[in-house]
Structure 1
Amino acid sequence: MSKVYAQIHKLFPLLLFAAFVNCSGPEPTKEENSAVRIRQENGKYTIYRDGKPFTIKGAAGFSHFSELKQAGGNTLRTWDTTHLDEILDSARAHDLAVIVGLPIPNNNDIGQYQDPAIIRIRYRALQSLVRKHKGDRAILMWCLGNELDFPYKLIYRHFYEDFNDLTDMIHREDPDHPVTTTVLNFNSKYIANIQLLCDIDVISFNIFSNLKNLRNDLAGFSWFWNGPYLLLEWGIDGPWHGAEETAWGAFIENTSKKKADVYLKRYQQELPVEDPRLIGACAFFWGHKQETTHTWFSIFDETGESSETVATMQYIWSGKPSKVKYPEVQYMLLNQKGARDNIMLNPGATASAEVLMSAGHKDVKSVKWQLFKEDWYQENQMNNIKKLRPLNHLIPAGSGLHTQFVSPSEEGPYRLFATIYDHCGHFASCNTPFYVVSDK
């Protein structure tokens, strides 16, 4: 690999021409008895699993297997191998497939790719894992790395050497399951380098706000690359994608109802489901996680109850509308103001809050109010996965859709959450940021 890379500047035009000539996509070269195969037939790419066509109806996460199956999904995508034995056991029990994430550092961590001892340990660890699980029927494919960069600079030759050593090892140890990797958004330079310098079976993308551009991006680069692809993360926008902000920079989060509407609209209008190159997609995030807030991406709450996005995904995967009526929040008011009103409170002041529900969606069993001090202004603010401690001593217990609370004594940004539960294991959520500022 190092010799090839050293000559890449000289060979690039020839390689570019070769890729152009063969832009119709990879032809299958493995034994026909492989468990999973990606084939091109009559201009369309299809996954074959156990000899039968298989379209990925997936979710990015590692839990809620039963709910995924009941909603019409068939695949989970993970990012690492934590609790992989349990995940594969549960997937098999629910007849689900798993795209197993094999985590590796990004290439900007150069030390991880220049130290032979680190490289050797990583190689042996992943080889051992592939050998252990390669015969598991629940595995659909391997995903080496997540949102890696694939730049064209000689300094990254060690990264490419190690990446190719690992993909070669996976192909050798487990010829029955394809290998993919993910790129953040559609990046033609990265795609070109993957095609020219790497050996994977299918390219995957994580795309959110840029999903609306994907059709044009694919068409504009089809002269060079016209192979199959996956969407391993798609869904609502993160706060880093142009979310509205308060005057002090707090991100304004949609209600759970608006999020469910975004999933459906994005699927119907932006996701290129008609593209014969697309072999599947995974909605993000099938579970509960802290990222900016504990509700921003979470389709389930921490106790396992489900939000309306589950019903949306059921309609997307099965074509059948859900019969479940989820509690539906219109908005929250804090002192009769909304999040876009830049709410400021004095320390120790009494404030009132209420949640307004949509007509016909008023099945309310309980309301959980929570108050948190924000940490969005800290380093890595939008990707913070630290679980925050609520300041619930400031909120009276047993509050319904209306509550009063005492604002914190310490100046700074805060956020008030309301989670509304019905009697059938479903919830709706909303929150409002506010700022405590002293009048002294």
Structure 2
Amino acid sequence: MTVFLVTIMMITGCTTVPAPQQHRKVYISEENGKYVLYRNDSPYVIKGAAGFEQLQYLRHAGGNTIRTWDTLDLGRILDEAHANNIAVIAGFPMPSSNYLPFYNDSARVTHQYSAFRDIVQRYRAHPALLMWCLGNEIDFPYSPRFRKFYKAYNRLLKMVHAEDPDHPVTTALINFNRRCLYNIRFKVTGLDLVSFNIFGELPRLRHNLDKFSWFWKGPFLVSEWGINGPWESASTAWGAPVENTSTKKAEQYRQLYEQFMPVEHPRFLGACIFYWGSKQEGTHTWFSLFSEEGAVSGTVQEMQYLWTGKMPPHKAPALKYMLLNGKGAMDNIIFRPGTTQTAEVLPDGISGDSLHVRWEILEEDWYTKNRYEPNTRKPAVPDSLQLSARELQAVFRTPAKEGPYRIFATVFDNYGNFASTNTPFYVTGQ
């Protein structure tokens, strides 16, 4: 996500825009060695969330910005955001730079250009628009064979600035990627700032910014941040990532923000937590800050505290862990098919009498088209496996089909809050 840069040296890799700042709705100003984002002539620090759901609660929690990844339903999202006094970083979806069949096809590139121009013209005057994000994790390689990618990218970037000089343009990189920053500096003309999608590498961000400041000193946005993803976590013997309880994740989010988010850095313009809503990624609970019904997690409450200094009156349920027949996820739990097993959730200081639990057994989310197209829906639910449930305990029958599974417990209180935990297990043949 880029923010509009007005005065910036060539070493930042961004171009200087000559129009006066006061003529822009959104711009960046460099003031005494510090970059400041302005929106409608007032300083604006992004307290953001990646996602486009639960906007009313985002405003209630003290957030002010959302980030989207594509233009689907953008008009409705902008309208809803404006109604909630939320700004929008609108994303343009682009094929990865290494998808050369697209960039070598002039007809497809031309179609993309026309479609993006129509979007800019349609929404450039919307009061909720904060900036444009041209591509998400598309990568910026070096090899000359990517020349047509850079030609297409620069043409799009020039078009967005020409059609909408009122709003900055950014792109989102995976982590703090020096190679991409080098190539943006030398091969891309006009990005106003650089954004980082960063999870397990967040603790190293300050160090990386300082070590690379000899080359790049421009403003930046943390466009996605959060706990370690499934690709960064411990796993079972068969490769199923082990997910922490939502209680533990809430603690980690707060620790990450307080200890490692570089809010004091003079080039920092804000950050967007991932994911404000409910989504399938690895599991349907890994990054989801809300349940599928819209219940609120402990992480949302922690962000409310970080943004406003106040916690809500009723904290989300707190969980220690889940056990299957007394074993945890790292015990590499293996069952025979069609056998009866017991699951138990251990709460942390909250009586089970005030809670109700939804139990689910799902196939492991392993089977994707490719690494660029993760599943967006929950895996299939095997039928008739739950035999009985009483408060925080359940008895279930293991699936007949061999393979990897997970058992999930989603714990709700009476105040619209939830907590979640799950344990992977494997079913072997007879």
Q: Please give the range of the TM-score, normalised by the shorter of the 2 chains.
A: over 0.9
User: Which position in structure 2 is the counterpart of 1:181?
Assistant: 171
Tell me the amino acid that sits aligned with residue 83 of structure 2.
Answer: A
2:189 equivalent to 1:208: no
Task: Specify the alignment match of 1:30 in structure 2.
Answer: 19
Specify which of 295, 299, 304 is matched with residue 289 of structure 2.
299
Change (3 A) 1:124 1:27: closer
Equivalent position of 2:223 in the other structure:
232
| Residue in structure 2 matched with residue 83 of structure 1 by the alignment | 73
**Structure 2: how far apart are the matches of 1:399 and 1:393?**
17
1:363, 1:422 within 8 Å by CA — same for their partners in 2? no
Among 138, 143, 158, the alignment partner of 1:168 is 158
Aligned position for 2:32: 42
Aligned to 1:10: none
Distance 1:285 1:81, change over 3 A: same
3-state secondary structure, aligned to 1:396 = strand
Judged with a 3 Å threshold, the aligned counterparts in structure 2 of structure 1 residues 190 and 258 are, in CA distance, closer, same or farther, namely: same
Alignment of 1:378-393 (within 5 A): 380=370, 383-393=374-384
Partner of 1:56: 46
1:391: how far off? 2.3
Secondary structure (helix, strand or coil) at the match of 2:23 reads: coil
Q: Any idea what the Cα deviations from partners look like across 1:147-200, whole Å, max 9, x if unmatched?
A: 121111211111111101101100000000000001101111211211222121
Secondary structure (helix, strand or coil) at the match of 2:378 reads coil
Q: 2:409 matched to which residue of 1?
A: 418
Shift, 1:386, TM fit: 3.3
Following the alignment from structure 2 to structure 1, what is the Cα–Cα distance between the partners of residues 123 and 36?
Answer: 24
Normalising by structure 2, we get a TM-score of: 0.94
In the alignment, is the contact (CA less than 8 A) between 2:387 and 2:397 conserved in 1? no
Hey, which bits of structure 1, 4+ residues long, moved more than 3 A? 19-28, 360-365, 377-383, 396-399
What corresponds to 1:104 in structure 2? 94
Equivalences for residues 107-122 of structure 1 within 5 A: 107-122=97-112
The AA in structure 2 aligned to 1:119 is V
Match of 2:4 in 1: none
User: What are the ranges of 5 or more consecutive residues in structure 2 without an aligned counterpart?
Assistant: 1-7
What displacement does 1:322 show?
A: 3.1
Alpha-carbon deviation of 1:398? 5.5
| Aligned-residue RMSD, C-alpha | 1.8
Contact 1:364 1:423 in 2 (8 A): yes
State how many pairs are aligned.
Answer: 420
Residue type of the partner of 2:130?
L
Contact 1:369 1:399 in 2 (8 A): no
Displacement of 1:25 after TM fit? 7.4
Contact preservation (8 Å) 1:327, 1:362: no
Describe the SS at the equivalent of 2:345.
strand
Shift of 1:221: 1.0
Deviates more, 1:155-164 or 1:356-365: 356-365
Distance 1:361 1:169 in 2: 59
Corresponding position of 1:288: 278
- 1:319, distance to aligned residue in structure 2 (A): 2.3
After superposition, give the CA deviation of every residue in 1:67-86 in whole Å (9 maximum; x if it has no partner). 10000000000000111111
Preserved contact between residue 20 and residue 224 of structure 1 (Cα < 8 Å) = no
Q: 1:432 maps to what in 2?
A: 423
Whether contact under 8 Å (2:71, 2:91) holds in the other structure is yes
**2:206 is equivalent to residue 248 of structure 1:** no
SS of 1:162's partner is helix
Residue by residue over 1:290-311, the C-alpha shift from the partner in whole angstroms, topping out at 9 and shown as x without a partner, is 1111111111111111111111
**Whole-angstrom distance in 2 between the partners of 1:434 and 1:398:** 19
Question: 2 CA distance for matches of 1:419 and 1:190?
Answer: 40
CA shift for structure 1 position 379: 5.5
Aligned position for 1:6: none
Structure 2 residue corresponding to 1:133, chosen from 119, 123, 130: 123
1:340 lines up with 2:297 in the alignment: no
State which of 179, 182, 190 in structure 2 corresponds to 1:192.
Answer: 182
In structure 1, the residue matched to 2:5 is: none
Contact 2:388–2:396 (8 Å) recurs in 1: no
CA 1:23–1:353 in structure 2 vs 1: closer, same or farther (change >3 Å)? closer
TM-score normalised by structure 1 residue count: 0.92
Counterpart among 248, 251, 260 of residue 261 in structure 1? 251
Alpha-carbon distance in 1 for matches of 2:366, 2:216: 39
Distance 2:423 2:376 in 1: 20
For the residues of structure 1 that align with 2:278 and 2:351, how far apart are their CA atoms? 24
Does structure 1 residue 351 correspond to structure 2 residue 341? yes
SS of the counterpart of 1:327? Answer: coil
Relative to structure 1, the CA distance from residue 51 to residue 378 in structure 2 (aligned partners, 3 Å threshold; closer, same or farther) is closer
- Residue identity over aligned pairs, in percent, reads 49
Seen in structure 2, the aligned counterparts of structure 1 residues 24 and 116 have a Cα distance that, compared at 3 Å, is closer
Distance 1:212 1:380 in 2: 29
Does residue 322 of structure 1 match 2:339?
no
Aligned to 2:60: 70
Aligned equivalent of 1:150, options 103, 127, 140: 140
The alpha carbon displacement at 1:363 in A equals 6.2
Map Cα deviations across residues 261-304 of structure 1 (whole Å, 9 max, x no partner): 11111111111111010101000000111111111111111111
How far the C-alpha of 1:27 sits from its partner, in A, is 5.1
**In structure 2, C-alpha distance between the alignment counterparts of 1:118 and 1:37, rounded to whole Å:** 32
C-alpha deviation, 1:360, in angstroms: 3.7
Tell whether the 8 Å contact from 1:23 to 1:223 is kept in structure 2 after alignment: no
Q: Which amino acid aligns with 2:320?
A: Q
Distance 1:156 1:124, change over 3 A: same
* 8 A contact 1:27–1:39 mirrored in 2: no
Which runs of no fewer than 5 residues in structure 1 stay unpaired?
A: 1-18
In structure 2, C-alpha distance between the alignment counterparts of 1:177 and 1:20, rounded to whole Å: 20
Equivalent position amino acid for 1:389 in 2 = A
